[in-house]
Amino acid sequence: MRTAYRCRAYPTDEQAVNLARTFGCVRKVWNEILEWRTKRYRVDAVRTNYAEADRHLTELKRRPELAFLNEVSAVPLQQTLRHQYKALTSFFARRSRYPRFKSRNSRQAATYTRAAFRWRGGTLWLAKQSEPLRFVWSWPDIDPATLSPSLVTVSRDADGCWYVTLQLDTDAPGELPATGAAVGLDVGINSFATTSDGDKIPNPRLMERKQRNLARYQRRMARTEKGSRNREKARRRVARAHARVRRARANFLHVTSTELIRRYDVVVVEDLNVSGMMRNHRVARAIGDCGWSTFRAMLGYKAEKWGRRFVVVDRYFPSSKTCSNCGHLLAQLSLKTRSWTCPSCRTRHDRDVNAAKNILAEGLSATACGADVRPGGLPSGDRPRSRKPDSRGLESGSVRAEGKSR
């Protein structure tokens, strides 16, 4: 299986200059090729394959005004073409949005293949550099000298921190001991997630806790002159504040997802239309702070890594409006209603716990009978729609999801 190790890097001044020049060339190639592809598609309705983009890159290197592209390693520039081709393929398959132009104020990265780096005894040598790149190894139980990375990505975040990512193929660590337990998860804002066992995982609300400081830093940056050194200092201060929130959120999601995968053999979640819910400006910030999409991705690859089963049920399944005791379906249930009593069996339900129980039951029954609920957490565009009629007599596949439809 594919594994990546991300470490903090500490380049020397000379290496930082060389890498910054490489980042600039990568950004220039990405923007030039993307603009050229877009014009060809809009004017001639022609899609550009990788070979055509590679020939156009050769033409760009021959231009006198772009001669600086020949001063850096050619491998990161070729990898940029591969990344862009992959992004466009995903766009035409309706799995992602159209690629955007790169900015110098965002994260910068350059990817090297084995032809452009050397790995000797845990020491990394990059092309066009006279000394090894220093980085800190954070896994004491793994000897880096025994690894054989096939790809190396050097990046610099907006806050100025450097990282090196080693990608390699490793053997799967093996399945975890079976626990015989399954769980359904209903994610939310008040509680980050509610399990079918009745447990509620608190939402840390990391962005909300730092919002006051972030607003102050952003006001200070707005008062500085564009292009000045004070502007750059203020921008980095804002970037560092966001980076602290991002790292804390990633740590929370990793700890939570790992604990769930270790405790349960089967994990069932709901396919949420997160991008549709983010269009609601009243809750967009709170939803973005939760990181539901990242959480689902973590559950998916960790389940595959440790031999667990990960199931995603259809987003149109009415998990909140269905009684988990008798199956009665409510006609309406407002978002403000956090608990309700079933009119058929008179069972009192907590909204989130009831939804988690229904998600678990739907996931287990659908996979058992071979329906279109699949393990692995496939994107909704790759998964067939459920055609079960809802309470209004409409097929669920014909209803457009603009939010969390239940």
Exactly one of 265, 289, 314, 352 is catalytic; name it. Answer: 352
CB 363 within 8 A of CB 373: yes
CB 248 within 8 A of CB 204: yes
- Cα 369 from Cα 313, distance rounded (Å): 13
CB 389 within 8 A of CB 395: yes
CB 267 within 8 A of CB 195: no
CB 167 within 8 A of CB 120: no
Tokens matching residue 333: 């249930």
- Cα 311 from Cα 184, distance rounded (Å): 9
Is 352 one of the catalytic residues?
yes
Exactly one of 186, 265, 271, 362 is catalytic; name it. Answer: 186
Residue 381 DSSP class: G
Which uninterrupted H or E stretch holds 78? helix 74-92
Is 270 one of the catalytic residues?
yes
CA angle (90 as vertex; 84, 91 as ends), nearest 5? 90
| Sign of the CA dihedral with 175 first, then 176, 180, and 185 last | negative
Q: Which of 293, 327, 319 is nearest to 386 (CA)?
A: 319
Residue 60 CA, distance from chain mean position:
33
Is 382 one of the catalytic residues?
no
Residue with tokens 């000045």: 228
- Cα 197 from Cα 158, distance rounded (Å): 41
In 27-90, the DSSP E strands lie at none
Exactly one of 270, 289, 314, 362 is catalytic; name it. Answer: 270
Using the CB atoms, write b or e for 320-331: b if 16+ within 10 Å: bbbbbeeeeebe
Q: Which residues are catalytic?
A: 186, 270, 352
